């Protein structure tokens, strides 16, 4: 019995966009699905792993995920891969060349753009990749569309012989709504076609494919003009017509219920003639798209008079309130602007509540140590929960750009630092999964080029930021079954890091970790320090009995507060004057036993040794008491 496959065909069920895509991939008869976790796309593969009859697997990165899917497509099967927007940048090498060769079995690439940057380093519009690679783009507005368009994408891919990009956004991926589902189709058996002129991208072969790509572009344009995925939501007010894609189409409909909306399904190639015909039925045309003016510019190039980003914001979500106000302001309709509720947003007078590391997080002590070495180090960070080390109270990160860049950027910093930075140690901080994703090459390059960088690999045995997924360093696969586990110590030594410069350390033993980091940053070659404690949000973490602060012993030194552990709270503040006449702020602390995991990392930060077990008999690890 499987709760997912037991849903009655034709029945309606509450699915997120991600769950709807997963369902449709399964219904399509696809044989294989791959992904690297990334918000907001992660749940697509997590859900697919719960369906039978399809091979779902985590890949080490998006380029690998896409290439595995391409191989399955060439073998004749339907194949699928999912990634967040920046993942497609990683996969772009495979994308650009395979786009020219095309595919065999249907190949669908779901790419999820983080419009509004809820959990990403940029807000790129991945629809550029479709234009760059000559590949069609489908854009669902909600979960039912996501389901239906995923199935249509497989059909289109096989009809035209090229991969199809399914462009999702956060407000599709993470919106649950009712979806009508279908049944799984019999997987088509095509087999591999042995044809080196088609699949071996030698210059001579690739050159011959260029005219065929031109023909394919023309076919895709004709299909887009007639696509059933594009629908008209009619309206009586013909003073304006809206051309819209993605969830913004629904927001436009709600904001301007009397205005006709041409809701595009296939958005590249842009169905220019269909939009031209629509434009003749209205007085003016407004393009509503997230985030870049791609459709708008192509319509303008085709000679249509359109509005778009001259009226609407160029970034962020085009919500109902944003659309109402922008259109009212554009029309010069002061009453309407006044009547529209002011964008309420969060109350700015309330303190910020940024995401924090968890109580007992094994990343707390590395950043506590780095914060103490702050003046003598440059710290290149990477993508993961530990990017929070840039924030309070540690402020122990100088750079973070993309997956794996901690080591490579550290190398450049080390090579070119000058002035007062010339004597500083360069440290790079990267997590286990990010290291395997795109960090290994960076370490190899550090060793090969004889760099002087201290590398901290924070191994918490999971992809933590996206909710705790498995990877080749955890020893388990996407189904939770045992899998081969990489040996990080052996791996970094095999890359050429000297064995004496490779260390594994328990991050909860804070003094040991601090000594190690300080010692290695003074050695002028590549060092690797691997911290080894599991993420506290995973089942691998074993909490220990809680600690407490002995109130009468607390001197208000604030040492424990500086670990950044959210279980440690300030009970009162005082200002005192030291013997030298300086005023000093004191912060007296308590530990919330409901959150404390008993990790002990704060114990050594306490000057008066006031942190002790809540129940001394239950805490044998703490020798001081």
Partner 1 sequence: MTESPAATVTNVLLCGIGGQGVLTAAELLAQAAVAAGHDAKKTEVAGMAQRGGVVTSHLRFGPRVLAPAIPDGEADLLLGFEAAEALRWIGQLRRTGKAVVNGLRVKPPVVHQGLFDYPEDPIGMIRAVGVEVRVVEAWDIADSLGNHRLMNTVMLGAVSDLLPLSADDLRERVVAVFRARKPALADLNARAFDAGRAAVTAAPEPVAAG
Q: How far is the CB of 569 from partner 1 (least distance, A)?
A: 5
Q: Exposed, middle or buried, 310 (CB in 10 Å: 0-12/13-18/19+)?
A: exposed
Say whether residue 616 binds partner 1 (CB under 8 A): no
Q: How far is the CB of 519 from partner 1 (least distance, A)?
A: 29
Residues 6 or more apart whose CB falls under 8 angstroms from that of 500 comprise none
Subset of 316-335 contacting partner 1 (CB under 8 A): 317, 319-321, 324
Say whether residue 365 binds partner 1 (CB under 8 A): no
Say whether residue 104 binds partner 1 (CB under 8 A): no
Of the residues 1, 186, 210, 342, which one makes contact with partner 1 according to CB under 8 A: 342
x-marked contacts with partner 1 along 277-316 as a string, rule CB under 8 A: ----------------------------------------
Q: Which of 357, 528, 326 is nearest to 440 (CA)?
A: 528
Q: Which of 360, 357, 358 is nearest to 508 (CA)?
A: 360
Binding piece for partner 1, criterion CB under 8 A, among 21-29, 128-136, 179-187, 229-237: 229-237
Q: Is 402 annotated as a binding residue?
A: no
Of the residues 189, 236, 416, 422, which one makes contact with partner 1 according to CB under 8 A: 236
**Tokens representing residue 55 in the block:** 């091979």
Distance in angstroms (rounded) separating the CA atoms of residues 109 and 259: 33
Subset of 113-172 contacting partner 1 (CB under 8 A): 116, 118-119, 142, 170-171
Q: Is 361 annotated as a binding residue?
A: no
Angle at 575 between CA 571 and CA 577, to 5 degrees: 145
Residues 6 or more apart whose CB falls under 8 angstroms from that of 372 comprise 514
Q: Is 606 annotated as a binding residue?
A: yes
Distance in angstroms (rounded) separating the CA atoms of residues 41 and 32: 17
Q: How far is the CB of 389 from partner 1 (least distance, A)?
A: 12
Based on CB atoms, which residue is closest to partner 1, 35 or 587? Answer: 587
Q: How far is the CB of 79 from partner 1 (least distance, A)?
A: 27
Based on CB atoms, which residue is closest to partner 1, 54 or 112? Answer: 112
Q: How far is the CB of 420 from partner 1 (least distance, A)?
A: 27
Identify the three-state secondary structure at position 138: strand
Determine contact, residues 497/526, Cβ cutoff 8 Å. Answer: yes
Determine contact, residues 229/152, Cβ cutoff 8 Å. Answer: yes
Determine contact, residues 417/378, Cβ cutoff 8 Å. Answer: yes
Q: Which of 551, 549, 555 is nearest to 602 (CA)?
A: 549
DSSP string, 349-405: TSPP----PPTT-TTHHHHHHHHHTGGGEEEE--SSGGGGGGSTTT---SB--STTH
Q: Which of 115, 137, 602 is nearest to 322 (CA)?
A: 115
Q: Is 557 annotated as a binding residue?
A: yes
Q: How far is the CB of 560 from partner 1 (least distance, A)?
A: 10
Distance in angstroms (rounded) separating the CA atoms of residues 153 and 138: 7
Rg (CA), the chain: 28
Strand pairing report for 583-591 and 568-577? antiparallel
Angle at 215 between CA 210 and CA 221, to 5 degrees: 125
Residue appearing with tokens 């779901």? 110
x-marked contacts with partner 1 along 554-573 as a string, rule CB under 8 A: -------x--x-x-xxx--x
Based on CB atoms, which residue is closest to partner 1, 161 or 316? Answer: 316
**Cis before 617 (ω within 30):** no
Say whether residue 177 binds partner 1 (CB under 8 A): yes
Based on CB atoms, which residue is closest to partner 1, 24 or 255? Answer: 255
Say whether residue 466 binds partner 1 (CB under 8 A): yes
Say whether residue 594 binds partner 1 (CB under 8 A): yes
Of the residues 1, 210, 350, 416, which one makes contact with partner 1 according to CB under 8 A: 350
x-marked contacts with partner 1 along 241-260 as a string, rule CB under 8 A: ------x--xx-xxx-xx--
Q: How far is the CB of 570 from partner 1 (least distance, A)?
A: 4
Distance in angstroms (rounded) separating the CA atoms of residues 26 and 302: 39
Q: How far is the CB of 327 from partner 1 (least distance, A)?
A: 14
Q: How far is the CB of 114 from partner 1 (least distance, A)?
A: 8
Cα separations in angstroms, 132 against 84, 97, 293: 18, 11, 15
Based on CB atoms, which residue is closest to partner 1, 317 or 459? Answer: 317
Residue appearing with tokens 């199935």? 151
x-marked contacts with partner 1 along 366-395 as a string, rule CB under 8 A: -------------------x--x---xx--
Of the residues 1, 351, 482, 579, which one makes contact with partner 1 according to CB under 8 A: 351
Based on CB atoms, which residue is closest to partner 1, 346 or 581? Answer: 346
Indicate the helix (H) or strand (E) that contains 490: helix 488-494
Determine contact, residues 103/70, Cβ cutoff 8 Å. Answer: yes
Residue numbering of the annotated binding site for [4Fe-4S] cluster: 554, 557, 560, 565, 596, 599, 602, 606
* Residues of the shown chain interacting with partner 1 in the complex, contacts defined by CB under 8 A: 14, 39-40, 116, 118-119, 142, 170-171, 174-178, 234-236, 247, 250-251, 253-255, 257-258, 317, 319-321, 324, 341-347, 349-358, 385, 388, 392-393, 465-467, 561, 564, 566, 568-570, 573, 585, 587, 594
Residue numbering of the annotated binding site: 554, 557, 560, 565, 596, 599, 602, 606
């Amino acid at each position: 019995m499987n709760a997912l496959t037991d849903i009655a065909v034709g029945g309606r069920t509450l699915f997120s966009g991600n769950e709807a895509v997963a369902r449709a991939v399964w219904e399509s008869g696809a044989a294989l699905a791959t992904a690297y976790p990334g918000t907001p796309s992660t749940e697509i593969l997590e859900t697919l792993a719960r369906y039978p009859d399809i091979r779902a697997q985590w890949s080490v990165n998006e380029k690998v995920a896409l290439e595995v899917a391409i191989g399955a497509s060439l073998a004749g099967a339907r194949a699928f891969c999912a990634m967040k927007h920046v993942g497609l940048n990683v996969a772009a090498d495979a994308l650009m060349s395979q786009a020219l060769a095309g595919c065999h079995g249907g190949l669908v690439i779901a790419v999820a753009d983080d419009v509004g940057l809820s959990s990403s380093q940029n807000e790129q519009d991945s629809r550029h990749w479709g234009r760059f690679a000559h590949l069609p783009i489908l854009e669902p507005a909600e979960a039912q569309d996501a389901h239906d368009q995923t199935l249509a994408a497989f059909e289109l891919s096989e009809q035209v012989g090229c991969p199809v990009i399914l462009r999702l956004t956060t407000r599709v991926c993470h919106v649950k709504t009712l979806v009508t589902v279908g049944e799984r189709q019999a997987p088509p058996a095509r087999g591999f076609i042995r044809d080196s002129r088609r699949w071996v991208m030698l210059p001579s072969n690739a050159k011959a494919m260029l005219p065929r790509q031109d023909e394919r572009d023309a076919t895709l344009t004709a299909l887009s003009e007639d696509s059933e995925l594009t629908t008209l939501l009619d309206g009586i007010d013909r003073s304006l017509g809206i051309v819209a894609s993605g969830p913004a189409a629904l927001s436009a409909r709600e904001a301007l219920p009397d205005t006709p909306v041409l809701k595009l399904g296939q958005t590249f190639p842009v169905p220019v003639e269909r939009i031209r015909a629509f434009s003749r039925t209205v007085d003016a045309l407004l393009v509503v798209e997230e985030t870049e003016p791609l459709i708008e510019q192509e319509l303008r190039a085709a000679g249509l008079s359109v509005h778009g980003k001259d009226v609407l914001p160029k970034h962020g979500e085009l919500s109902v309130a944003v659309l109402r106000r922008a259109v009212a302001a554009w029309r010069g309709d002061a009453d309407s602007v006044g009547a529209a509720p002011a964008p309420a947003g969060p109350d700015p007078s309330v303190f910020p509540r940024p995401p924090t590391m968890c109580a007992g997080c094994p990343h707390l002590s590395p950043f506590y140590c780095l914060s103490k070495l702050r003046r003598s180090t440059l710290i290149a960070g990477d993508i993961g929960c530990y990017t929070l080390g840039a924030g309070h109270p540690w402020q122990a990160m100088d750079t973070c750009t993309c997956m794996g860049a901690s080591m490579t950027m550290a190398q450049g910093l080390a090579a070119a630092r000058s002035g007062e930075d010339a004597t500083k140690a360069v440290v790079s901080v990267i997590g286990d999964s990010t290291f395997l994703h795109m960090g290994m090459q960076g370490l190899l390059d550090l060793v090969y080029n004889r760099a002087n960088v201290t590398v901290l690999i924070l191994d918490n045995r999971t992809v933590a930021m996206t909710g705790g997924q498995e990877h080749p360093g955890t020893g388990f696969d996407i189904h939770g079954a045992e899998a081969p586990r990489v040996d990080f110590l052996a791996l970094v030594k095999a890359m050429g890091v000297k064995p004496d410069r490779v260390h594994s350390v328990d991050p909860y033993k804070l003094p040991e970790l601090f000594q190690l980091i300080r010692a290695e940053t003074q050695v002028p070659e590549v060092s690797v320090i691997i911290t080894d404690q599991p993420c506290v949000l995973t089942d691998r973490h074993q909490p220990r009995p809680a600690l407490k602060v002995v109130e009468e012993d607390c001197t208000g030194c604030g040492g424990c507060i500086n670990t950044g552990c959210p279980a440690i709270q300030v009970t009162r503040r005082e200002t005192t004057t030291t013997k030298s006449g300086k005023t000093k702020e004191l912060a007296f602390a308590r530990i919330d036993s409901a959150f404390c995991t008993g990790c002990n990392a704060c114990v050594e930060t306490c000057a008066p040794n006031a942190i002790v077990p809540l129940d001394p008999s239950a805490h044998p690890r703490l020798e001081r008491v």
